[in-house]
Amino acid sequence: MLTSRTFLKRTRAGSVLKVVREHYLRDDIPCGAAACSLCPPRPDGSPSALEERPSGAASSLCPGPHYLLPDTNLLLHQIDILEDPVIKNVIVLQTVLQEVRNRSAPVYKRIRDVIGNPEKHFYSFTNEHHRETYIEQQQGESSNDRNDRAIRVAVKWYNEHLKKMQNEEIQVIFLTNDRNNKEKALEEGITAYTCEEYIKSLIANPELVDRLACVSDEGKEIESGKIIFPEHLPLSKLQQGIKSGIYLQGTYRASRDNYLEATVWVHGDAEENKEIIIQGLKHLNRAVHEDIVAVELLAKDEWVAPSSVVLQDDGQNEDDIETEEEKENILKTSDNKSMLRPTGKVVGIIKRNWRPFCGMLSKSQIKEARRHLFTPADRRIPRIRIETRQADTLEGQRIIVAIDGWPRNSRYPNGHFVKNLGTAGDKETETEVLLLEHDVPHQPFSQAVLSFLPKMPWSITEKDMKYREDLRHLCVCSVDPPGCTDIDDALHYREMENGNLEVGVHIADVSHFIRPGNALDEESAKRGTTVYLCEKRIDMVPELLSSNLCSLRSNVDRLAFSCIWEMNHNAEILKTRFTKSIINSKASLTYAEAQMRIDSASMNDDITVSLRGLNKLAKILKKKRIDNGALTLSSPEVRFHMDSETHDPIDLQTKELKETNSMVEEFMLLANVSVAQKIYDEFPEFALLRKHPAPPPSNYDILVKAAKSKDLEIKTDSAKALAESLDKAESPASPYLNTLLRILTTRCMMQAVYFCSGMDNDFHHYGLASPIYTHFTSPIRRYADIIVHRLLAVAIGADSTYPELTDKHKLSDLCKNLNYRHKMAQYAQRASVAFHTQLFFKTKGVVNEDAYILFVRKNAIVVLIPKYGLEGTVFFEEKDKPTPRLDYNNEVPSLTVEDTMLHVFDKVKVNVMLDDSNIQHQKIRMVLVEPKIPGNDVPAQLSTAMSSNSEPEKKKKKLQQ
* Helix (H) or strand (E) run with residue 449 in it: helix 447-450
Q: Report CA Rg, the chain.
A: 31
Q: Can you tell me whether residue 7 is helix, strand or coil?
A: strand
What's the rounded Cα separation, in Å, for the pair 282 and 896?
32
Looking at the chain, the whole-number percentage of residues with pLDDT higher than 90 is: 59
- Per-residue pLDDT at 269: 47
Query: 319 pLDDT exceeds 60?
Result: no
- Average pLDDT score over residue span 504-527: 96
Give 277 or 58, the one with higher predicted confidence.
Answer: 277
- Per-residue pLDDT tens over the stretch 733-775: 788 899 899 999 998 999 999 999 999 989 999 999 999 999 9
- Phi then psi for residue 703, to 5 deg, are -65, -50
Tens digit of pLDDT for each residue in 648-659? Answer: 666 666 666 788
Q: What is the distance, to the nearest Å, from the Cα of residue 490 to the centroid of all Cα atoms in its chain? A: 31
Q: Which residues of 235-246 are buried (b: 16+ CB within 10 A; e: fewer)?
A: eeebbebbeeee
Q: What is the pLDDT of residue 33?
A: 86
pLDDT band at 509 (very low <50, low <70, confident <90, very high): very high
Cα torsion angle, 786, 790, 791, 795, sign: positive
Q: Of all residues in the chain, what percent carry a pLDDT higher than 70?
A: 86
pLDDT digits (tens, 9 = 90+) for 460-469: 999 998 889 9
Using alpha carbons, select from 248, 331, 251, 318 the residue that is nearest to residue 289.
251
| CA 720/CA 653 separation, integer angstroms | 33
Q: What is the DSSP letter of 464?
A: T
Least Cα distance to 621 among 744, 516, 768 occurs for 768
Q: What average pLDDT score do residues 338-355 get?
A: 90
**369: pLDDT strictly greater than 90:** no
What's the pLDDT score for residue 58?
82
pLDDT 10s digits, 194-251? 999 999 999 888 888 999 988 654 444 444 568 899 999 999 999 999 999 999 999 9
pLDDT value of residue 152: 96
Give CA–CA dist 525/101, Å, rounded.
22
- Mean of pLDDT values over 523-552: 95
Q: Architecture of 845-930 per CATH?
A: Beta Barrel (2.40)
**Lowest mean pLDDT across 73-87, 220-234, 497-511:** 220-234
**Structural domain 48-211, CATH architecture:** 3-Layer(aba) Sandwich (3.40)
What's the average model confidence in pLDDT over 836-854? Answer: 85
> What span, in angstroms and rounded, lies between the C-alpha atoms of 515 and 473?
29
The fold of 235-313+329-351 is OB fold (Dihydrolipoamide Acetyltransferase, E2P) (2.40.50)
Q: Residue 13's pLDDT is what? A: 65
CA-CA-CA-CA torsion sign (285, 287, 292, 297): positive
Confidence category of residue 680, pLDDT binned at 50, 70, 90:
very high
Average pLDDT estimate for 285-295: 95
Could you give the CA distance from residue 815 to residue 751 in angstroms, rounded to a whole number?
14
DSSP 125-164: E-GGGBTTT--PPPTT--HHHHHHHHHHHHHHHHHHHHHH
Q: Is 830 a residue whose pLDDT tops 60? A: yes
Assess whether pLDDT exceeds 90 at residue 933: no
- Residue 904 pLDDT: 92
Q: Where are the strands (E) in 509-619, listed by range? A: 531-532, 537-538, 557-567, 573-584, 587-590
DSSP strand pairing (171-175 vs 66-70): parallel
Higher-confidence residue of 27 and 110: namely 110
Residue 923 clears pLDDT 80, i.e. is over it: no
Asked if residue 382 lies in contact with residue 370, where contact means CB atoms within 8 angstroms, the answer is no
Poorest-confidence range of 306-320, 617-631, 704-718? 306-320
Strand partners, 864: 852, 871
- Examine the pLDDT at 513 and tell me if it is beyond 80: yes
CA distance from start to end of the chain: 61
Structural contact between residues 908 and 853, judged by C-beta atoms closer than 8 angstroms: yes
Mean pLDDT, residues 290-315 taken together: 89
Mean of all residue pLDDT scores within the chain:
87
Picking from 88-92, 239-243, 383-387, 649-653, which range would have the lowest pLDDT averaged per residue? 649-653
Whole-number pLDDT of residue 90: 95
Helix (H, G, I), strand (E, B) or coil at 509: coil
Q: Is the pLDDT of residue 263 over 90?
A: yes
Mean pLDDT value across residues 303-310: 87
| Three-state DSSP state, 795 | helix
Q: What is the pLDDT of residue 937?
A: 52
Q: Which residues in 647-658 are b (16+ Cβ under 10 Å) and which e?
A: eebeebeebeeb
* pLDDT on residue 11: 67
- Beta strands (DSSP E) in 837-876 are 847-856, 860-865, 870-875
The tens digit of pLDDT for each residue in 587-623 reads 999 999 999 999 999 999 999 999 999 999 999 999 9
Per DSSP, 546 falls in state I
The arithmetic mean of pLDDT across residues 911-936, rounded, is: 68
Residues 6+ apart with CB under 8 A from 193: 61, 173, 174, 175, 182, 201
H or E element at residue 503 = strand 501-508
Q: Is the pLDDT of residue 779 over 60?
A: yes
Q: Is the pLDDT of residue 167 over 60?
A: no
Is the model's pLDDT at 318 over the cut of 70? no
Q: What is the DSSP string of 220-268?
A: HHHHTS---SPPPPPHHHHHHHHHHTSSEEEEEEE-SSBTTEEEEEETT
pLDDT value of position 336: 60
Q: Right CATH number for 356-424 from 2.40.50.700, 2.160.10.10, 3.40.309.10, 3.30.450.20?
A: 2.40.50.700
